[in-house]
Amino acid sequence: MKQLIIYAICLFAVISFAQNAKIDSLTVRLAYQNQDSTKVETSLLLINELYKVEDYKKALLFIAQTSELSKSLNYDKGLAETNYIKALINSEQDDLGNAVSNFEIARSYFSTINDTLGIAKVNNNLGVIEIQRGNYKKGLQNSLSAISIFEEKDLKDDLSKAYNNLAEAYFNTGKLDKALQYNKKALSVREELDDMEGMKSSLKNLGQIYALNDDYRRSIDNYERMLTLLDSDEKDIRGAVLPSLGKSYLAIEDLDKASDYLREGLRYSRFQKDELGILKSLNAFGELNIKNKRLKLAENQLLEALKLAKKLGDDEELLYNLKLNTDLDSKRGFYEDAFNWQNQYYALKDKLDKERAAAVKIPETSIDDTIEDTPPLIEKKEAVEAQNEALATTEQEDQKKQDTLLIYGLIAGLVFITALLIFSYLKSSKDGKSNKKFAKENKELALKNAQLEEVNQVKDKLFSIVSHDLKDSISSIKAFLDLLKDGGISKEEFNELIPELSENANNASSLLFNLLNWSKSQMQNLQPKPELFNIQEIFQIKISLIEKKVNDKGIILIDESRREFVYADRSMLEIVIQNLITNAVKFTGKGDVITVSNQDYNGKVLICVEDTGIGISEENQKKLFNAKKNFTTIGTENEKGTGLGLTICKDLVELNNGRIWVESTPNIGSKFFIELPKAALSE
């Protein structure tokens, strides 16, 4: 070991001596040169060497002199390079305002001399600064514009920086698929460069992203590989990674390894007095001990973590803690306490959701199709103040009032639509009898009569559904409201029932939605109003509506859609896409994957909603699109259906000159395909 240290010291001394000798040599040469462009070039070499050894004071002195000489000579290259290095020094000194100003001046000079590499380097550094400031749109634009130049010239150092820059921007704007892509690229380049620090950073980022995507085994692989690269004295980094690694093992139910890593992480964090590390370890330990039924120990750990989360103002860990406390008291049978924890959890979640909704968004840009509308920031930490609790309580009470009003309004709407359907049923029955009377007189009339008879049969089925499913939902809601009205339950007890009532209302609303759209398509000869529109926009809208359910069920949803135009009735296709995605969520569970995509297929647009859920037997596949069968099954969490959704989908797709079909294997998953035209069909 001593020999190794001596060797390192000697090597450092040799390198330092060589650098100093080079600086001295350039200084001497500069003193004897004429005031021309050659002197500018020598000065630039000297400035670069001074920048490398971080002698910024002397570098800035030579930059000022070289800039003046370049101006007198009208030497744009000298002005470009001096402003560029000056901006780098400003950036190193955290003088970001001057850094941006000097980078922009340098870029204008690089543009004048058509130096694409210089422009790319400036853009990449501007990207770093804009991302540091939270201006993710500008950061992405600048870095993306630099990438192609760096890749073309195979500039590994610049590529490493650019890829990492893009990965950070995409991560902070919720584009995890893009963040994953660029972190992988950054890691690959850093491995080629043997950049140990860069590799550690990329592996840590990959571990975090895979965990957020619920791909815990890959998360574990990257975290563990990072740990092998750490030196023994890097205790702070080890302490930060171990809780995350333990949490990933916890997610795959490997409780022994989770315990080992969390224990080691907590020990490191306490030794380093790293309160954030302690908080993360205690929260994860609390979950572990709940799983192991060590409830008293879990209570103590979660209480300490709760105090730390409030002290640090870490809302994400506080949210996690409130959820764990809800689970803990539910398991102990302390339902009133569990309900209070749950109220705090939803109040904080609503607050965070509102903050995220108001956070930075990246609008569409013309740089290339990789920049899209992006979701809000993944994390936003703000201090938790005392008044937040009162605000959260008020918001929760307002939400309960809205829920109650919604339930009353839904009942009134359902009663109205039920009466409407009964009237339609009676009227159609009368029409059917009338048609039968004249059927013998005219063959054409007989055919119409047969069609009306079929419609009547469908309406019979609709009426049957209304009298059972809809009646059950309304009766359940009405029973609880009557209890509250008559004093059979207290307001507190009613508040506990709100989640169940909300679920009933959602089921009834879904039923009503499908009945209305089916009624339109079957009873009113619904005519499509086709137009050209971007199918990717429909996917993005519908995915945003089911994000909460996806997260609640632990499902991974992958959006592989791309910008492509279809010719159809937009509102009809929205109904179809919503039904298919909702069905995919219904029949998948934790760890399953739903993928939505579209592609060009024989001159048409082929849309696919694929899942790795429970699948459909060949026998049941034949029933899916048949209105007379009214086929429906229970979802993975006992979700109920109407049996009409796919029938509606078939009708609406066919009205738009398309077709719909399914490919499915039990216990493997299902693929629902829609084929639609890209333009109006020729007559």
Query: Phi, psi at residue 410, to the nearest 5°?
Result: -65, -40
The predicted model gives 332-357 an average pLDDT of 79
Are the C-beta atoms of 573 and 539 separated by less than 8 Å?
A: no
Name the nearest CA neighbour of 655 among 569, 592, 594: 569
Give the least confident one: 292-301, 460-469, 500-509, 595-604.
Answer: 460-469
The predicted model gives 421-449 an average pLDDT of 53
Q: Which sign does the torsion angle of CA 329, 334, 335, 336 carry?
A: negative
Are the C-beta atoms of 241 and 207 separated by less than 8 Å?
A: yes
pLDDT, position 628: 53
Distance CA 233, CA 218 (A): 26
pLDDT over 90 at 46, yes or no: no
Burial code of 52-71, b = ≥16 C-beta within 10 A, e = fewer? eeeebeebbebbeebbebbe
The predicted model gives 442-454 an average pLDDT of 56
Give the least confident one: 336-350, 475-489, 641-655.
Answer: 475-489
pLDDT over 90 at 39, yes or no: no
**DSSP three-state, residue 604:** strand
State how far Cα 122 lies from the chain centre.
30
pLDDT band, very low/low/confident/very high, at 34 (cuts 50, 70, 90): confident
Beta-sheet pairing, 604-611 with 669-677: antiparallel
As a dihedral over the C-alpha atoms of residue 140, residue 145, residue 148, residue 154, rounded to 10 degrees, the angle is: -80
pLDDT, position 83: 92
Distance CA 452, CA 177 (A): 51
pLDDT, position 368: 40
Are the C-beta atoms of 377 and 174 separated by less than 8 Å?
A: yes
pLDDT band, very low/low/confident/very high, at 642 (cuts 50, 70, 90): very low
pLDDT band, very low/low/confident/very high, at 203 (cuts 50, 70, 90): very high
Residues of the chain with pLDDT > 90, as a percent, come to: 13
> pLDDT digit string (tens) for 285-339?
899 999 888 988 989 999 999 999 999 999 989 999 998 998 888 788 776 677 7
Identify which has the larger pLDDT, 471 or 238. Answer: 238
pLDDT, position 178: 86
> pLDDT digit string (tens) for 125-134?
888 888 777 7
pLDDT, position 146: 78
pLDDT band, very low/low/confident/very high, at 383 (cuts 50, 70, 90): very low
pLDDT, position 336: 67
Are the C-beta atoms of 477 and 505 separated by less than 8 Å?
A: yes
Helix (H) or strand (E) holding 493: helix 491-523
Name the nearest CA neighbour of 559 among 569, 574, 544, 573: 544
pTM: predicted TM-score of the whole model, two decimal places: 0.46
Identify which has the larger pLDDT, 455 or 198. Answer: 198
C-alpha distance from residue 643 to each of 428, 518, 579 (Å): 22, 11, 11
Q: What is the residue whose two structure tokens read 């990257």?
A: 222
pLDDT over 60 at 165, yes or no: yes
Rg (CA), the chain: 33
Helix (H) or strand (E) holding 661: strand 659-665
The predicted model gives 161-189 an average pLDDT of 85
Beta-sheet pairing, 593-601 with 565-568: unpaired
Are the C-beta atoms of 616 and 622 separated by less than 8 Å?
A: no
Give the least confident one: 312-316, 376-380, 667-671.
Answer: 376-380
Burial class (CB in 10 A: 0-12, 13-18, 19+), 355: middle
Mean pLDDT of the chain: 76
CA within 13 Å, CB half, 535: 28
pLDDT, position 31: 77
> pLDDT digit string (tens) for 117-157?
888 888 888 888 887 777 777 777 777 777 778 877 788 88
